Chain A
Amino acid sequence: MAVVEAKGLMKSFGGKSILRGVDIEVSEGEIFGLVGPSGAGKSTLMRTLTGYLKPTKGEVSVFGRDPFRFDAADRRLMSFMPQSFVLYDELSVRKNMNFTAGLYGLKLGRRRQRIREVLKFVELWEDRKKTASRLSGGMKRRLQLAAAIVHEPKLIFVDEPTANLDPILRRKFWDEFRLLSGMGRTIFVTTQYLGEAELCDRVGLLHNGRIIAAGTPEELRRKAFGGEMIELTLGGDPGHVGEHLAALEVVGRVVEVKEEVGENAASRTRLVVENADVALPKVFEVLRDADVRSADLIYPSFDEVFFRLVRGV
């Protein structure tokens, strides 16, 4: 079941188009990553999906309803974690949590229990009496995440949660998202770190206000390269690689050949095939006379995937 759905979504500001016909679908319980460079329109798309902005054109539905017309009960089903810290520096961690829990209508008894649970979840329970101004940047993000999940929303919109964080903290956030996803929450997350797309169940690549590709990370790779990629390392004189190319083209599509000269002269050839499991025996068959040092199924980085998909547009 689609929790979030957009069709032909367009949004303009002062005649300037930011979103130019976005189609998107997010299923229940998945982590959907909206990936794209700065200025691609990620925040605008998220604001439109949360109902903060009204689309210029197109349709948006969240839980089957127009989020711009959500009532308070509808809004309790979701939450939003903004990119920057928007809670109050002058309040303690617990008071900030109390405030947010109050916004979502949690009654006092339940509120205390949930605040304890979520602060422990984000590892801020010990710091609950500290004022927010005394927290580090990473702790503030975690406090913001705790505030976003305190009322147990079914859908969480998270805007660039890992921007400017160190890799360890970034990883920790994704671990927490995975745990939340395991609890059945749907997470819609934007990130400019293309590598984080790998950590999503499904990914939408946003470029110039358009979703240029959407699917699982694997599907996107396949779409970017036309299939799975095998990297072959052949020993011997790199000049002889050409002798095998014709045979390899029968199995798949050679997309890259790199030659390494010197004492351990070798060549690296990348071959895109429909299915690596099926193709590999055939590869070894056609290269039986060659000095095959390795044949690996490789996963190109999402930077490369994104680059190829954008170039394809």
Chain B
Amino acid sequence: MNSLLRIRAVAAKEFWALARQPQLLALLLIGPVLIMVVFALSFDAGSYLPRAVIVVEEDSEGEDIFEQFRRQFTERTDFQGVMRSVDEADEMLRNDETDAVIIMPSEPSARVAESEQAVLEVHYNNINPIFGTTVPNRANGLILDLNRSIVREGIAQELQAIRPTQEQVEELNVQIEQVNETAESLSSDGARQTTADLDNALGNLETTLELLSLADDENEDIQNALEETRNSRELLGEVRDAQEEGADSVQEQAGTAELQSSLAELSEESAALPADVPAQVLVNPLRLVVDNLAPFEPDAAGFYAPSTLGLLIQHIALSLASLAIVRERLSGAYEYFEVSPLGAGELLIGKFITYLFLVVAVNMAVALALVSLLEISIQGSLGMLASVMAMLSATSIAAGFLLSAVSRSQLQAIQVSMLAFIGSGFFSGFLFPLEELDQPATGFSYLLPATYGIRALRDVMLRGQWPATFDLIGLAVYFLVCLVAARLLMGRKGAA
């Protein structure tokens, strides 16, 4: 019984102690919920439109096709414009100024005329083995749509340089004439061979039309031609049956007359049909070739190594620094420092130097462990890696100082550090590409040092290049803003 009373006393004390900290409770409850709500509102993997530029030769047939089907390009991409140089466009890709370079073939007709598909080339630059398929997927959708549209619009008609269907029909007419002329001896071997050839020709035509129909099931011309061809084959079948059964020539002539009439209609309707090129070329005049310009395509572990390091750096630095000022303030040391010659700036710099050294050293050790134990490859130099780690560490420490300057207790500081850690998992590009996040998550993203840091570390570790200027400037500005704000908040207490 006494034990119950003691437990009750402790429980009541804990309850009231927590209830007296509404800010902490709000942080505990609202923080994680807010993160999930923002994520749910902002993440839609299907809605992301990659930035794209089109490279096409000026005044070429390719440019005409692009202009004719411009909507197909602009609907699937965040269209940035038309360029003339592949090299310049690829440079944009390497500088992360665009996500895709679509290179239109200059003379697609010429390739099709040679019974070959014209090549639509798409370049992209992505090292993400999990979420890096957006551009290839979009490109596939684009090529399907383009091919369908080209067929639908009858562009193949302009490619007539080879044997037209019209000719095929005319040949059929000749064969029918031959059938008529030999009507009296329809059962002869020659007559049978002719009708067999005719049936074969009609069969080929039917197959071609069926393929066209599959590619473009809304084209009435193709549907009508297919129907006529099938009718003609049926009639021819009757003629061939008559040959087999030895029916009299009147019936046979009537049959061929009807067949001739049917072929006349077919001839008329097939005038608008595509050229007789291989079905694959006819249905898909454009072929997609996708090329990833990324210098290195890591596996999942390799890809997530820089992200993990980025998150680790932010978390260690933020946690350490978030306690730096609040702990001194609560212990009374801060007042002691205020009365001493030690300035607030000197206090910050002194702490900063130690934390920076510690965080960079620890994370360099982790990076080297990843290299030696997990065989993770680092494309950039160690100096480059240390520099980027130092920048991210510095920014996270400055953010921690600011957090520490506004925190009322160590628990509050740690709580916010943990929320930043969880939030970074969702919004910094650690798990999901930033491009696939929308507002309001994007706003949160740029409040996290890890957002800049992870991208910068990926550039160094996976691409072997210096980080993008945007990320370096982002880290520098973030660092300065946080440090200055922390310093201002740490100023001497004024008159109340």
Binding site for B on A (CB under 8 A): 11-14, 47, 50-56, 68, 72-73, 75-76, 78-80, 82-84, 86-87, 103-105, 157
Decide: B332 and A78 in contact? CB cutoff 8 A.
Answer: no
Residues in B328-348 with C-beta less than 8 Å from chain A: 331-333, 335-343
Are A54 and B336 in contact, with the CB atoms below 8 A?
A: no
Option from B335, B341, B492, B494 in Cβ contact (under 8 Å) with A104: B341
Separation of A53 and B336 alpha carbons in the complex (Å): 12
Q: Are A86 and B493 in contact (CB under 8 A)?
A: no
Given contacts A52-B493, A103-B337, 16 further A-B contacts (CB under 8 A): A11-B495, A13-B496, A50-B338, A51-B338, A53-B493, A54-B494, A55-B495, A56-B495, A75-B339, A78-B339, A80-B336, A80-B339, A82-B335, A83-B332, A103-B342, A104-B340
The answer on a CB contact under 8 Å between B340 and A103 is: yes
**Closest A-chain residue to B493, C-beta based?**
A53
Alpha-carbon distance A239/B125, docked complex (angstroms): 113
Q: Say which size band chain B's interface belongs to.
A: 10 to 19
Docked Cα-Cα span, A86 to B327, in Å, equals 11
Q: List 8 A-B contacts (CB under 8 A).
A: A13-B496, A14-B496, A52-B493, A56-B495, A76-B341, A82-B336, A86-B331, A105-B341
Q: Report the minimum CB–CB distance from B75 to chain A (whole Å).
A: 61
Do A52 and B335 contact each other (CB < 8 Å), given the known contacts A12-B496, A13-B496?
yes
Q: Which residues of chain B have C-beta atoms less than 8 A from A47's C-beta?
A: 335
CB distance from B347 to the nearest CB of A (A): 9
| 10 closest residue pairs by CB, A with B | A72-B341, A80-B339, A86-B333, A75-B341, A86-B332, A13-B496, A54-B495, A50-B339, A56-B495, A103-B340
Q: How far is the CB of A61 from chain B (nearest CB, A)?
A: 16
Minimal beta-carbon separation of B343 from chain A (angstroms): 7
Q: Give the nearest-CB partner of B332 in chain A.
A: A86
B residues 461-496 touching A (CB-CB < 8 Å)? 492-496
B256-272 Cβ-contact flags toward A at 8 Å (1 or 0): 00000000000000000
- Give the distance in Å from the alpha carbon of A157 to the alpha carbon of B492 in the complex: 18
CB distance from B19 to the nearest CB of A (A): 23
Q: Who on chain A is nearest to B347 by CB?
A: A103
Are B332 and A68 in contact, CB atoms less than 8 angstroms apart? Answer: no
With the chains together, A79 CA to B342 CA distance in Å?
12
Q: Which residues of chain A come closer than 8 Å to B338, judged between CB atoms?
A: 50-52
Residues in chain B near residue A84, CB distance under 8 A = 331-332
Verify B492–A52 contact, CB threshold 8 A: yes
Residue of B nearest to A57 (CB): B495
With A55-B495, A68-B492 as given contacts, are A75 and B340 in contact (CB-CB < 8 Å)?
Answer: yes
Q: Give min CB distance, A42 to chain B, whole Å.
A: 15
Residues in chain A near residue B333, CB distance under 8 A: 86-87
From known contacts A82-B332, A86-B332, infer whether A157 and B493 are also in contact, taking CB-CB under 8 Å: no
Contact yes or no, A54 B492, CB < 8 A = yes
Asked whether, in the complex, the Cβ of A79 is within 8 Å of the Cβ of B340, the reply is yes
Report the minimal beta-carbon distance from B476 to chain A, rounded to whole angstroms. Answer: 29
Instruction: Specify the chain A residue showing the minimal Cβ separation from B336.
Output: A86
Q: Are B340 and A80 in contact (CB under 8 A)?
A: yes
List, in ascending order, chain A residues with CB within 8 A of B496's CB: 11-14, 56
A86 CA / B340 CA spacing, docked (Å): 13
Please, which residues of chain B bring their CB within 8 A of the CB of A56? 495-496
User: Which of B332, B336, B342, B493 has the largest number of chain A CB atoms within 10 A?
Assistant: B336
Most buried by B among A11, A14, A52: A52
- A residues less than 8 Å from B494 (CB atoms): 54
Find out whether the CB atom of B495 lies under 8 angstroms from the CB atom of A103. no
A108 to chain B, nearest CB (A): 17
- Inside 8 A of B493's CB, which chain A residues have their CB? 52-54
Nearest Cβ on chain B to A9's Cβ, whole angstroms: 11
A82 contact set on B, CB distance < 8 A: 332, 335-336
Q: How far is the CB of B411 from chain A (nearest CB, A)?
A: 20
Given the complex of chains A and B, what is the CA–CA distance between A25 and B494 in angstroms?
A: 23
Q: A87 to chain B: which residues have CB within 8 Å?
A: 333
Task: Find the B residue at minimum CB distance from A67.
Answer: B339
Q: Which residues of A contact B341 (CB under 8 A)?
A: 72-73, 75-76, 103-105
Residues of chain A with a CB closer than 8 A to B336's CB: 80, 82, 86
CB-nearest residue of chain B to A51: B339
Cβ–Cβ contact B339 & A157, under 8 A: yes
Complexed CA–CA distance, A11 and B333 (Å): 22
Q: How far is the CA of A56 from the CA of B337 in the complex (A)?
A: 22
Give the residues from 303 to 349 in chain B that come closer than 8 angstroms, CB to CB, to chain A: 331-333, 335-343
- Shortest beta-carbon distance from A275 to chain B in Å: 43
A contact residues around B331 at 8 Å (CB): 84, 86
Nearest CB on A from B13, distance (A): 24
Q: Which residue of B lies closest to A48 (CB)?
A: B495
Question: B495 — which chain A residues lie within 8 A by C-beta?
Answer: 11-12, 53-56
Q: Closest chain B residue to A81 by CB distance?
A: B336
Q: Could you say which residues of chain A place their CB within 8 Å of the CB of B335?
A: 47, 52, 80, 82, 86
**Please, how many angstroms separate the alpha-carbon atoms of A127 and B192 in the complex?**
122
In angstroms, Cα B332 to Cα A47, docked, is 12
* Cα-based distance from A76 to B495 in the complex (angstroms): 24
Q: Which residues of A contact B342 (CB under 8 A)?
A: 103
Which A residues touch B492, using CB under 8 A? Answer: 51-52, 54, 68
Residue of B nearest to A12 (CB): B496
Cα A274 to Cα B494 with chains together (Å): 47
Please, how many angstroms separate the alpha-carbon atoms of A50 and B336 in the complex? 10
Distance of B324 from chain A, by nearest CB (Å):
13
Looking at the assembled complex, report how far the CB atom of A164 sits from the nearest CB atom of chain B, in whole angstroms: 15
B45 to chain A, nearest CB (A): 49
Which residue of chain B has the shortest Cβ distance to A80 in the bound complex?
B339
A272 to B495, CA, bound (A): 45
Docked complex Cα distance between A56 and B342 (Å): 24
CB neighbors of A among B207-240 (8 A):
none
Q: In the complex, which residues of chain B have a beta carbon less than 8 angstroms from the beta carbon of A75? A: 339-341
Chain A residue with Cβ nearest B338: A52
Q: Give A14 to B341 CA distance when docked, in angstroms.
A: 29
Which B residues touch A54, using CB under 8 A?
A: 492-495
Please measure, in the bound complex, the distance between the C-alpha atom of A83 and the C-alpha atom of B333, giving whole angstroms: 11
**Bound state CA distance, A54 and B25, in angstroms?**
34
Instruction: Return A105 CB to nearest CB of chain B, in Å.
Output: 6
Return chain B residues, CB-CB under 8 Å to A50: 338-339
CB distance from A55 to the nearest CB of B (A): 6
Q: A46 to nearest B CB, angstroms?
A: 10
Please pick, from A14, A72, A78, A83, the residue contacting B343 in the complex, using a CB distance under 8 A: A72
A52 and B341 CA atoms in complex are apart in Å by 12
Which residue of B has the minimal Cβ distance to A49? B339
In the complex formed, the residue of B with least CB distance to A47 is B335
A47 to B496, CA, bound (A): 13
Name the B residues within 8 Å of A80 (CB-CB).
335-336, 339-340
**Complex Cα distance A76/B340, Å?**
7
Q: For the complex, what is the distance from the CA of A139 to the CA of B424, rounded to whole Å?
A: 46
Task: Please measure, in the bound complex, the distance between the C-alpha atom of A56 and the C-alpha atom of B336, giving whole angstroms.
Answer: 21
User: Once the chains are docked, how many angstroms separate the CA of A78 from the CA of B336?
Assistant: 12
